């Protein structure tokens, strides 16, 4: 093993080179008897073994000793979507957000087709390859189901839970649609719609849950075109029965109007210009510390608190209706306006 690239309550993640094929892999070490039970670990392994897709981090092998399981995983060298969002000054343009949303949809379509609900979709679990394409990672919260409605138990991240889960009601695969809607919202605005404006309450899970259930979602024309707003209203529909599923989302005009999305080419992960007609806006900077996964709720709350403070204490950015720059420049360091607290946050969150 070369270097540790992630850590958390579960254990650690290491970058390693195989003696057999000389390729680099990520080794996820899950400690037995920590936050994950043996049953949960085995569930994660069994589900991921069933998946083989360009849009999912591949599980190659599993080892075990008396204290831990070791998962040999595909190494994603481009960081994750959270890093990408926080490393640019402005929100994504709609073309950029649409590109990543389309690939996430392809991943969910494949996962749901295997009768699996991911249940923890968030920017931290969307990894990037060195060429800029997405791969879904961390199936620790995923669940297999052969029915349209399943039990009320749920282990995903609080701030991405849909209302029916917060209320303890039965749910179906459309919980992932809700989370996708939040990710698109965040890409287009750089903030979470259910975080409190008052930083004092930013990490208050009760307030977040309350907002998920009943807070009005703001669609500022500065960030959202009418088509984007319409799509998000369908994805962030508090009624799980009428909320868009994956198929409905793929066929929404935000994706297909004016041939904005060529689905066969997206599914083949072809280069950006063949998908949208535009040149790829950026290739992810490959950091020595590769990100593999999610940060804890407090870190996430601190990040969104900073975003809110920045929005209140700086002048408004230019008011493009497409939500930001048309060519997002991906830089190797955080913008100078980011505080030292946020820099510490980014270093702290290298967990799975």
Residue keyed to tokens 């069933």: 50
The alpha carbon dihedral of 206, 136, 278, 232 has a sign of negative
- The mean predicted confidence, pLDDT, of the chain is 78
Answer whether 3-73 and 81-348 agree in fold. no
In the chain, the percentage of residues whose pLDDT exceeds 70 is 69
Q: How confident is the model at residue 245 (pLDDT cuts 50, 70, 90)?
A: very high
Indicate the CATH number of 3-73 among 3.40.718.10, 3.30.200.20, 3.30.43.10, 3.40.190.10: 3.30.200.20
Label residue 19 exposed, middle or buried (CB < 10 Å: 0-12, 13-18, 19+): exposed
Q: Which of 227, 221, 295, 285 is nearest to 260 (CA)?
A: 227
Token output for 77: 């060298």
Strand 143-144 to strand 116-117: parallel, antiparallel, or no bridges (unpaired)?
antiparallel
Asked if pLDDT for residue 127 goes beyond 50, the answer is yes
Query: DSSP of 16-68, one letter per residue?
Result: EE-TTT--EEEEEEEETTSSS-HHHHHHHHHHHHT---TTBPPEEEEEE-SSE
Strand 3-8 to strand 11-17: parallel, antiparallel, or no bridges (unpaired)?
antiparallel
Asked if pLDDT for residue 233 goes beyond 80, the answer is yes
* H-run or E-run covering 126: strand 126-128
Helix/strand/coil for 127 = strand
Q: How confident is the model at residue 187 (pLDDT cuts 50, 70, 90)?
A: very high
Please list the residues that pair with 70 across neighbouring strands.
29, 63
Asked if pLDDT for residue 13 goes beyond 60, the answer is yes
Residues 92 and 211: their CA atoms lie apart, in Å, by 25
Question: What's the predicted TM-score (pTM) here?
Answer: 0.77
The per-residue pLDDT for range 149-186, each reduced to its tens digit, is 565 566 668 899 999 999 999 999 999 999 999 999 99
| 15 or 320: which leads in pLDDT | 15
Label residue 247 exposed, middle or buried (CB < 10 Å: 0-12, 13-18, 19+): exposed
Label residue 267 exposed, middle or buried (CB < 10 Å: 0-12, 13-18, 19+): middle
CATH architecture of 81-348: Orthogonal Bundle (1.10)
Query: DSSP of 305-339, one letter per residue?
Result: HHHHHHHHHSPPPP--TT-S-SS----SS--TTS-
The per-residue pLDDT for range 61-118, each reduced to its tens digit, is 999 998 899 999 999 888 889 989 999 899 999 999 999 999 999 999 999 999 999 9
Average the pLDDT over 127-136 and give the result.
Answer: 91
The per-residue pLDDT for range 298-335, each reduced to its tens digit, is 344 444 444 444 444 444 444 444 444 333 333 223 23
Q: How confident is the model at residue 3 (pLDDT cuts 50, 70, 90)?
A: confident
Helix/strand/coil for 199 = helix
Please list the residues that pair with 342 across neighbouring strands.
none
pLDDT attached to residue 296: 39
Lowest mean per-residue pLDDT among 58-62, 162-166, 195-199, 217-221: 195-199
Asked if pLDDT for residue 131 goes beyond 70, the answer is yes
Q: How confident is the model at residue 341 (pLDDT cuts 50, 70, 90)?
A: very low
pLDDT attached to residue 152: 53
The per-residue pLDDT for range 275-306, each reduced to its tens digit, is 544 444 455 544 434 333 333 333 444 444 44
Q: In the chain, what are the domain boundaries?
A: 3-73, 81-348
Q: Which residues are catalytic?
A: 120
315 known member of a binding site: no
């Amino acid at each position: 093993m070369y270097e540790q690239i992630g850590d958390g309550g579960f254990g650690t993640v290491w970058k390693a080179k195989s003696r057999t094929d000389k390729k680099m892999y990520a080794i996820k070490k899950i400690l037995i008897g920590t936050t994950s039970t043996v049953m949960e670990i085995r569930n994660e392994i069994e589900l991921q073994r069933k998946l083989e897709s360009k849009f999912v981090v591949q599980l190659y092998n599993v080892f075990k000793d008396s204290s831990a399981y070791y998962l040999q995983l595909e190494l994603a060298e481009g960081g994750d979507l959270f890093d990408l969002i926080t490393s640019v000054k402005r929100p994504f343009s709609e073309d950029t957000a649409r590109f990543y949303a389309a690939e996430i949809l392809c991943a969910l379509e494949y996962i749901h087709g295997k009768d699996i609900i991911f249940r923890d979709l968030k920017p931290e679990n969307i990894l990037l390859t060195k060429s800029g394409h997405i791969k879904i990672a961390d199936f620790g919260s995923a669940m297999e189901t052969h029915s349209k409605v399943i039990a009320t138990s749920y282990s995903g991240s609080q701030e991405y839970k849909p209302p029916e889960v917060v209320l303890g009601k039965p749910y179906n695969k459309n919980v992932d649609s809700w989370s996708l809607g939040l990710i698109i919202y965040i890409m287009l605005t750089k903030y979470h719609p259910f975080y409190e404006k008052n930083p004092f309450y930013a990490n208050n899970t009760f307030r977040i849950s309350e907002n998920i259930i009943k807070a009005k979602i703001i669609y500022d024309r500065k960030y959202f075109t009418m088509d984007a707003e319409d799509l998000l209203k369908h994805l962030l529909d508090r009624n799980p029965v009428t909320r868009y599923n994956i198929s409905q989302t793929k066929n929404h005009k935000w994706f297909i109007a004016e041939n904005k999305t060529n689905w066969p080419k997206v599914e083949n992960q072809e280069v950006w210009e063949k998908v949208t007609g535009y040149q790829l806006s950026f290739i992810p900077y490959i950091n020595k510390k590769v990100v593999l996964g999610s940060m804890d709720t407090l870190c996430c709350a601190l990040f969104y608190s900073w975003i809110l403070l920045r929005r209140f204490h700086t002048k408004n950015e230019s008011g493009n209706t497409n939500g930001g720059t048309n060519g997002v420049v991906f830089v190797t360091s955080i913008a100078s306006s980011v505080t030292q607290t946020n820099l510490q946050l980014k270093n702290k969150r290298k967990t799975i």
